[in-house]
Each structure stands twice: as structure tokens, then as C-alpha cells.
Structure 1
Amino acid sequence: MLDRFRTVSELVRVRDDLIPKVMFEPATIAFAQEQAKLAQSIALPSILEHYRTATEPLTAKLLALDALGVGQVSRYLEAFSQASAVSDLIAQSLRVDREFLAATRAFSLSAVPTFETLAGYRSFLDAAGLGLPRWPKVRLLTVAEKRRRFKARLQRKAEPVHVKKAKSLVHRYELTLREILDAVMADAYGEDWAKARLPLCGCNDLLGRWRKRGGDVLDHADYAHYARIMSHPEHFSAVFEAGFDDPQALAALLEDAGRLRAASHHARAFTPEDLRDLRVTWRTIEAGLLAFTADYELETWH
């Protein structure tokens, strides 16, 4: 963070969380400048020499080191000069090459300064420009803040237009499918067709739901049940062949409709492309179901 301050005057004016409201005495600034000039004569690993921090920015970093409470700046001058050079290398590099790796390796092999606390060493690295983001602070949220955030989350989960359209389309088509399916099965097998025919096509579970809950039998059906009923060999040849050419293809259509219905209704990913596929699937089913609608109607004179 401190490597953005290129002059002493910039650092003196800074008022951030790292150095709150610091005012440097002229003597402190003069001492830091003196140490920065002295650091220019300290030998660095040859690979770091090219990245040696110049006097003015190094003065700013040394002032930061003093402000962070790490005393005896001159004691750490050699190690600090190396750390600052590595910081400048990282700031100036656009890619990690052999020179970059050699420089950081040379720094890692250098002696580590001794500090009384870990916080002292962390401040040393921060001032040199090698700081990492601080751990997040924990703050207790108020009930009002929690409500606002929860409301914002709800708003972000609002249904897209294409999902709303999919739900409306599915609702209308599925109710129409149930109505036609019940009517044609009743025409072929009688009003009690469910009791006799559901066990034959592997729909005992649907029969059980209906007996337990009552109502219309197909109100408790899902798409797998529609597919089993309509593609069953006897049912298909006696009833549904009038509108569909192949029982397996019919079953596949209903399975696709069920899959897309589940995606749109159960908070799964549902895209505009899925809405397109849903429309095409139901329009295809619709084309077959038209065979089971009336061909004529009786008109009366008034």
C-alpha cells in the first residue's frame, strides 16, 4: 500500500487507517532522509540491485516504518532496503520470469530481522510495501441491516420474464393434456379406466396417491405417468396412435416437457433457450393432441 507514495510530502499528508493522523517532526524527516541516503551504499544481492529503491521513496517508507511503531530504523536498514527492493520489483513486473523468481528467492534466503512481536514484523513488511490485506473486521449487523440485505437478496431472485412465461405455458398445456387424456381413456376403457389400466402400465404409485388423496386421478400424475399411460402398447394402439406415430417418440416428448417444467418451476437454471425448447416441445405435443379434439360442432339456429 505504501509504495504508492513517491515523495515525503505525500506521506506526511496521508491520513489513512495505516497511519492515522501522523505529523512528522522535522528532525524525524531529516533522520529518515539521512538513513535513505545511507541505504544507497548498502550492498544488495546483484539480482535486486536494478530494483533498489531511490532515496526519496525510501525516505517515505522509512517514515512509515517509524510511524508504525517499529523503533530503531537504522538497525533494520539493510533488511528493509532488500524488502523495499523486492516490493518495487513486484510493483514493476508484468510477468513472473526467471529474474523475478531469482530475486524473490534471494530475498527469501536473507536473514530475517528480529522483532519482539509478530505485529512488529508485519509492520516492517507493510512499510516496505510487502503488506497483505488485513483480516476482515467483525461487525455486528443490526436487525434493520439484516432485513435490508435479505430484501435485496429477494429482489435479486425475482423471476425473469422468460421463467414467468414458461410457468404460464406449462400450467395451461398440462391442464389441457390431463383433460384430453382422461376423456380419451374414459371413451376407450370406461369412466373407471384408472383402476383397471394404471396397474397395467406401471402406475400403481399414481393409483395409490389418488386413493389416498381423492380428486381427479391425473391431478396427482407427473410427466413419467403421462408417458407410461400414453406409450403403453395397448393404450397406444387403441387410443394414441391416432395422433402420434411412435410410442417411444411420444414418451421422449413428454419426458422433455417434464424436464423443462422442472427446470422452470424448481429454481434451477432456466434460460431463454429453454423457453424456446419448451414451446417447441408443447407445440409438437399439441399437434398430436389435435386428433383427439372434435372434428365437428353442432350449430343451432336461434
Structure 2
Amino acid sequence: MKKEQVVNCQFSVWYPIFKKHTIKSDHNTQPIQTTNSDSDAEEDVQWSDDETTTTATAPEFPEFTSKVLEAINSLGGSVFPKLNWSAPRDANWIALNSSLQCSSLSDIFLLFKSSDFIAHDLTQPFLRCSDQDSPDPVIKYELVLRKWSELIPGGEFRCFVKENKLIAISQRDYTQFYHHILKQEELISQAIQDFFSQHIQYNFLDEDFVFDVYRDCQGRVWLIDLNAFGEVTDSLLFSWDELTSGGEIARQQQQEGPAFRYTTSEVTVQPSPCLSYRIPRDFVDLSTGEDAYKLIDFLKLKKSQQEESEEEESTLQ
């Protein structure tokens, strides 16, 4: 996986190509600009009596806010938000309805601030690329708002394409057993293959990529997202060794079509991989020792509490 392939999987790159076959969306790549001058910014700071603390008013972006609200209204009042590549799927636990459905800018900000997936997009989108010695491409970050649609998790599938050939299909929500997938295995696989050959194959900028689809109750297939063909993308019920080695999966693809994997019984049901993101990051850092400063602050706090407790005991005596 190279940096150029990651760039090509940005929403603003693939959406115009496949617009007819995906969910209606709005995206804006214009940089956020504030109208406050430096002097205005200084006036916003309010000093308290305690010289060690300051408070400042939160920045406001009226033009950006207006555009977002206008886009939300044009898409029916509720949207699914994402950045160039990722959606904050790991942060749905923090929303009041435990959903990524947003109807205001504050809803979007709450999810984005709580998401490691979004942080990855912003800080290290080329982390696992093979051409690390080459300069990082310049990225214009974009807020993507997609029309909210109630998708049944059992209808989502991830498809792996190598050299413009569909080699594998995986159930997207592999932690659950869906009886209809077991019952309609051949129909689902064939519908996805037909969709790929008619609308996706040879139309994307790269020959190796991953795409997500949704098959609705009427059997129609819709494109949901595109991702880079590499370890930055979750391989779900496959392993990346299988997908890249050219072994069993490649031979099956040539003889019988793409490999299709799904959860086959309730016995194999697993907990959601996103559950780990519900633990506050500070707790994780403390438990693993990844952030030394947090650990030092924690030890100082415990020491201070211990000293206060000892003082209270001596006073009582």
C-alpha cells in the first residue's frame, strides 16, 4: 500500500466517480477561517484573580456553521458524518442515542473529539504505507455529511479487489450471526459480483482497493465506502496474509469466484471490536504506562491525597 493509494481513497476522489451508486452526500474542503484579528483574540482572554489560571471564550466559526447546517437541512435533517477516510464509528457510545446520527454541528464535534479513527485521519493517515521515505502528500481535510439512512448491519459487506479482480467478500458485522446470510449466500455473493463488474471494476484509480457495499431488502446493492488495500483497513474475517499471498483465495477466485465468509452460527458470535474504545483513553494510558506524564500526575495526586489524610489524622489526635 502506497501513499498515493491512500490519497485516492479519500471521499472527494471516489464520490464523483460513483455518485449514482451510493448515498447522497455533501462535502466541503474549504479551510476553516476565523474573522478575529490578533487583537480581537487577545481581548477574548479573561484573566482571573488567580494568576496561574486563565479562561478564554470558545472560538466561533459562523460561516462554517452556517454551511454545515444548510447541508444538514438539504440532506433531510439528519446526517452520518466522516472525514476524508474515516467515520467516528468507535465513538457512538458517547452520543445520547448511541448512534452516529447527527442533526447539529455540536453532535458532529462530540463524535469527532471522541474518536481515535478521526484522530488517525488527522495525524497519521500514511502510517502503514510502504513508501515512508517519500514526502507525505498535502491533504485538504474535508467534512463529509452523508444523508442518514437506517442500514441493517446484516446487509453490509466488505469486498477486496486485487489487480481489478474481486477476490474476497466478508460480512461487515462479523460479530453477529444473521440467518438470512446463511440462507441467501449464493444470491448475495452473485449480487455483489454483478454490481462490481457493472459499476466498479476498472472505474477506480487503483487496481488494488477495498470497497464496502450494502444490499437492501429488495436485493439492490449500494456502494458505501472505499478503502486502501492494506493493513490500515480491517480485513474482518480474512487475514492480510491470505489476501496478499496469492494462495488459496487467489486460486478459488480463478476457479469459483471470490471467497465469501460470514458468521455461520450463533456459537461463533463475538463481542464488538469497538467495545475497547469505550474505555477512557486516560485509563488506558495509565494502565499501560504509555503516557509517563499522566502517570506522574496520577502519582502526585495520590501523594497529595495521602498527605491530606495524614494531616487530618494528626489533627484529630
- The TM-score normalised by the length of structure 1 is 0.18
TM-score, normalised with respect to structure 2: 0.18
- Max radius of gyration: which structure? 1
Larger RCO (CA within 8 A; separation ≥ 6):
2
Which structure has the highest helix share of the two? 1
